[in-house]
Amino acid sequence: MDFAYAVAVAARAYGAQRDSSGRLLLGQALDVAQALPSDATDTAMNAAVLYAIPQVTHWTADHLVGVGVDPVVCEVVDLLTQKSGEPYMDFVRRICAAPGHAGETARLVLVADLRIGIVRTDSDVLRKRYESSLPLVRDALAVVG
């Protein structure tokens, strides 16, 4: 699956939805992809534009498979989906401990998302949460990845 197809799927799923600050969700997704290293894999780039879909739409990772998204990308998306009732730090630790290519890719995407969140959020509480999470995920990249 190429990046253009992933962006098209993201555009279809997000539509014209906006976040609480008024930014288009598709724009946020593209910003996360842009924040990845220049040598990021296709899997990482595709996951970056698709990862938030299960959190903010009715689409699931299984739905993404059904529209032709690579199963490994869907595995990354599923890792990056905070489960119902899952405390935020448990979510972060789960991603930090996730094995294999999907786990490493999920950590790369989460680092990019946290970096953007730190700069963009208007909430001091969220900024502190992101700032405290970022070193954990970076450390996991260095150890596990």
Token representation of residue 119: 């700069």
**Residue 90 in contact with residue 117, Cβ under 8 Å?**
no
Of the pLDDT bands very low, low, confident and very high (cuts 50, 70, 90), residue 53 is very high
Distance CA 92, CA 104 (A): 13
Predicted pLDDT of residue 145: 46
User: What per-residue confidence (pLDDT) applies to 143?
Assistant: 65
Q: Where are the domains of the chain?
A: 3-144
On whether the CB atoms of residues 13 and 57 are closer than 8 A, the answer is yes
User: Tell me: the pLDDT tens digits for 34-52?
Assistant: 999 999 999 999 999 999 9
pLDDT at 144 over 80: no
Of 15-29, 67-81, 86-100, 131-145, the poorest mean pLDDT is in 131-145
Q: What share of the chain is helix, strand, coil (3-state, %, to 5)?
A: 70, 0, 30
Q: Mean pLDDT, to the nearest integer, of 8-26?
A: 93
CA distance 2 to 5: 6
Compute the distance between CA of residue 34 and CA of residue 44 in angstroms, rounded to an integer.
11
Whole-model pTM: value is 0.91
CATH fold, domain 3-144, is: Hypothetical protein af1432 (1.10.3210)
State whether residue 30 is helix, strand or coil: helix
- As a whole number, mean pLDDT of residues 113-122 equals 89
2 touches 70 (CB < 8 A): no
Percent of the chain surpassing pLDDT 90? 75
Phi, psi of 24 (to 5 degrees): -60, 135
Rounded alpha-carbon distances, angstroms, from residue 88 to 80, 97, 135, 144: 11, 14, 15, 21
pLDDT number for residue 134: 84
Token pair 């996730």: residue: 98
